[in-house]
Each structure stands twice: as structure tokens, then as C-alpha cells.
Amino acid sequence: SNAAYVIVIDNPAIDLVTNSSSVAINGTSNVANFKVHIFIDGMYFNTFSTDSSGDWDAGNSPSLSIGNHIVST
């Protein structure tokens, strides 16, 4: 079987506008106990593992400057 691994970022939401300098980063995957690599503005942030349900939680981002930012896997 050639099943694809799917990683979804639930937070921050697309087009999130906030007054906070830090945002929650979390999501889901279709794979349990899988490593998720998180990048902020193209720079490596950290690696987190999905739990037995495929959920993952990176906690809060580091302090971000005012402006647009991209969170990706």
C-alpha cells in the first residue's frame, strides 16, 4: 500500500489576525507516533510527535514581530 501521510495545521488558522506576539501551533495527522517538523517563516522551529490518535501540539510559537508570518511542516 502507498498510503500518503497527511499532516494538517489546525492552529494558527489561515489568515489569523491577532494582537499576540505568540500563537498556538497544533494539528492532526493520519499517522500515530509520527514526527512533525515545524517551520516558521521557512526557519526550523522544532520537531514534535503525534500521539496515538494522530494529534500533535507544538505549544506556542516564539515571540514574533508585527507582520505576516508563515507556519508550515
Percent residues over pLDDT 90 in the chain: 74
The one-letter amino acid at 31 = V
pTM across the whole model: 0.85
Mean predicted confidence (pLDDT) in 6-34: 91
Locate the DSSP E strands across the chain: 7-11, 24-29, 35-40, 43-49, 55-60, 71-72
